[in-house]
Structure 1
Amino acid sequence: MGSLSIWHWLIVLVIVVLIFGTKKLKNLGQDLGGAVKGFKEGMREGGDEAAGTSAPADPKRVSADTIDVEAKEKERV
């Protein structure tokens, strides 16, 4: 009695199709697919905006922990 066999699922599917009809189930599937597609596009756009809003690092700005690697020529005396 623990798990449902394939026959149980087929009976449930037939009952659902009889109650709702194939046209309504088709529309429900299309709506669900459109919602998932819109969600994925929103996540992609949100990631692009988050990456685009970060300011690039200023190469002239040097903190106390940063070593300036710009080579300077010594004056020859």
Structure 2
Amino acid sequence: MSALTKAKGFKKSKTGTYLTIGTTAFGAVSVLKQARKARSEHDTLRLIDAAISAAAIVTGVALLLRELKRIGDDDVLFG
């Protein structure tokens, strides 16, 4: 099995999904900082951008959680 094939399989594994959720959380921290700065500077456009980014993060995490549930349902040992 090549390294590329292993990497593609890892992305769809339970561990890979948890890692993706973790990296998404770091993106959420950045969006929080952006929103706080926009509020302090009364910059409406940046605040809207932060809100849209936050919505994208929430949607992404919801999709990842659904994928985790699907992986859990397919797992014969832990079913």
TM interval, short-chain normalised:
0.3 to 0.5
Structure with the higher fraction of residues in helix conformation: 2
TM-score (norm 2): 0.44
Q: Which has the larger radius of gyration?
A: 1
